[in-house]
């Protein structure tokens, strides 16, 4: 049990105030079950005194993708609980929402040195809920200057104010001392909310106050003025921001049908269909596909094959639809892909070579077309399942570099026991991937995984690793 809500009395349409906080991992299928009870008196919820009103199961991914999920409640043994429904609403509460760029200066600071002017620097502290202070940033020292202009700096909103605009900040100005005994010039308190008044052409300033001087000196005004010259907010959008903003994931799987996989009729083949045990191609497909399907509203997945001779002319193809419908290569859900894969095997002749550039380019063209639309609300994931090193490495590198400029990522899963050392080049973890002409990828979009390292762990763990 993760948590439970408060009890709302005498209400058939309760709106619960309790917020459930759940860690979210995109790479995992996180199953949840919600149960509703009618509570009687002081007895704890879940005892025999409570009436079970119904339950509902879903995944965290479904809630995140849809933002608002309404489903019917079921009694035990799968019976509907009348017309009862439950609605779950989700929102991201993680604090990493970007960073802010700040530019400060000061005017007419107190002079703390006898034979020269002060050497001021500024420190910003965040005041936490327990009233402790956390240093957020310390500027450079400006030597011999009572009206310093400090260099602009960047700090995350999470570090600055825990993403709470009203959280109090303490800013302190010191006179630098090389021995470490810095002289206190003054301080002021503010909030990020107040700082935002400095956006655009506006400026915000604070009196830099020394509390001791304020008590001792009757005519004390301040120990100088600190001015926020400029503030710029840079929002860093998270995966959840895109999903909740309506972004859909378009999932494509590409399956290696080259002869090196072995005759599918032979039990030693990587494509052998065992009625009691899925082969490695199916295991990898289901592990990744089940995660991605929660973020695809129509649950339709493109399924392609490469390296086989296909009917009717039995010419070699490196980007054919495994449902043999060139006008619509989509299958209904992961189960639809599995069924198309199984029905496809007896109709084709495994051949070669292992060329994957055509499929990468094909998906990239679709991604490019989507990017040019007004909405541009789809992200494309291409899962390539292969039993060996690609033979068109130069063309593949070129295709990946081109795709790195598009809303697209590629997962390559090595199936079987082949030596996949050369495939690590495409991953880019050991260096920046470049095209044959030397052009680097704009961003790292390829992840290579040898399936043998994960095939003996649970399905959920396999999906997480992939």
Convert the pLDDT of each residue in 338-371 to its tens digit: 999 999 999 999 999 999 999 999 999 999 998 8
Note if the pTM is more than 0.75. Answer: no
Identify the sign of the CA torsion 191, 197, 200, 202.
Answer: negative
Top pLDDT among 196 and 236 is at 196
CA dihedral 58, 64, 65, 68 (to 10 degrees): 80
Contact 270, 416 (CB under 8 A): yes
Q: What is the DSSP letter of 452?
A: G
Q: What is the DSSP letter of 271?
A: T
- What mean pLDDT is reported for the chain? 88
* Domain ranges, ordered by start, for the chain: 1-94, 99-234, 247-465
Q: With helix as H, strand as E and coil as C, how does 34-84 read?
A: EEEEECCCCCCCCCCCCEEEEEEEEEHHHHHHHCEEEEEEECHHHCEEEEE
- What pLDDT, on the 0 to 100 scale, is given for residue 138? 92
Contact 377, 407 (CB under 8 A): no
CATH topology of domain 247-465: Rossmann fold (3.40.50)
Rg, the chain, Cα only: 31
- pLDDT band (50, 70, 90) for residue 19: confident
Beta bridge partners of 37: 52
Question: 99-234 with 247-465: one CATH topology?
Answer: no
Q: Which CATH architecture has domain 99-234?
A: Sandwich (2.60)
Contact 423, 390 (CB under 8 A): yes
In percent, how much of the chain has pLDDT > 70?
A: 92
pLDDT, tens digit, 9 for 90 and up, residues 264-293: 999 999 999 998 899 989 998 998 888 888
pLDDT, tens digit, 9 for 90 and up, residues 66-91: 888 999 999 988 888 889 999 998 87
- What pLDDT, on the 0 to 100 scale, is given for residue 41? 64
Mean pLDDT, range 117-146, rounded to an integer: 92
- pLDDT band (50, 70, 90) for residue 162: confident
- What pLDDT, on the 0 to 100 scale, is given for residue 26? 81
In percent, how much of the chain has pLDDT > 90?
A: 55
pLDDT, tens digit, 9 for 90 and up, residues 289-333: 888 888 887 889 999 999 999 999 999 999 999 999 999 999 999
Q: Residue 440 has which token pair?
A: 């680097």
């Amino acid at each position: 049990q993760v948590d439970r809500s408060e009890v709302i009395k005498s209400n058939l349409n309760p709106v619960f105030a309790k917020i459930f906080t759940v860690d979210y991992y995109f790479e995992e299928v996180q199953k949840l079950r919600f149960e509703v009870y009618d509570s009687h008196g002081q007895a704890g919820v879940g005892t025999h005194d409570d009436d079970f009103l119904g339950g509902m199961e879903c995944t965290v991914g479904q809630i995140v993708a849809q933002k608002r999920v309404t489903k019917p409640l079921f009694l035990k043994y799968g019976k509907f609980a009348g017309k009862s429904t439950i609605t779950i609403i989700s929102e991201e509460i993680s604090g990493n929402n970007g960073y802010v760029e700040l530019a400060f200066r000061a005017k007419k600071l107190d002079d703390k040195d006898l034979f020269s002017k002060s050497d001021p620097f500024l420190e910003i502290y965040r005041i936490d809920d327990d009233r402790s202070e956390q240093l957020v940033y310390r500027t450079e020292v400006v030597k011999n200057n009572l009206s310093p202009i400090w260099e602009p700096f960047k700090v995350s909103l999470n570090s600055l104010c825990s993403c709470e605009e009203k959280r109090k900040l303490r800013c302190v100005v010191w006179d630098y001392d090389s021995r470490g005994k810095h002289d206190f010039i003054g301080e002021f308190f503010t909030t990020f909310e107040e700082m935002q008044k400095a956006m655009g052409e506006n400026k915000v300033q604070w009196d830099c106050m020394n509390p001791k001087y304020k008590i001792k000196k009757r005519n004390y005004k301040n120990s100088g003025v600190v001015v926020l010259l400029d503030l710029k907010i840079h929002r860093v959008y998270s995966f959840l921001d895109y999903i909740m903003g309506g972004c859909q994931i378009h999932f494509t799987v590409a399956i290696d049908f080259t002869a090196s996989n072995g005759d599918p009729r032979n039990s030693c083949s990587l494509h052998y269909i065992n009625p009691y045990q899925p082969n490695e191609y199916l295991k990898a497909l289901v592990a990744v596909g089940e995660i991605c399907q929660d973020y695809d509203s129509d649950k339709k997945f493109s399924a392609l094959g490469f390296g086989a001779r296909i009917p009717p002319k039995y010419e070699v193809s490196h980007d054919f639809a495994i449902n043999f419908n060139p006008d619509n290569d989509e299958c209904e859900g992961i189960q639809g892909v599995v069924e198309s894969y199984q029905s496809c095997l007896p109709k084709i002749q495994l051949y070669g070579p292992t060329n994957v550039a055509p499929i990468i380019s094909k998906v990239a063209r679709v991604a490019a077309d989507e990017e040019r639309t007004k909405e541009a609300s789809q992200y494309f994931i291409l899962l390539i399942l292969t039993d060996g090193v690609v033979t068109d490495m130069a063309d593949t590198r070129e295709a990946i570099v081109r795709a790195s400029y598009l809303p697209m990522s590629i997962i390559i899963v090595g199936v079987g026991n082949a030596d996949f050392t050369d495939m690590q080049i495409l991953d880019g973890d050991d260096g920046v991937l470049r095209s044959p002409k030397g052009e680097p990828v704009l961003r790292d979009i390829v992840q290579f995984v040898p399936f043998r390292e994960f095939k003996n762990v649970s399905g959920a763990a396999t999906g997480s690793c992939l």
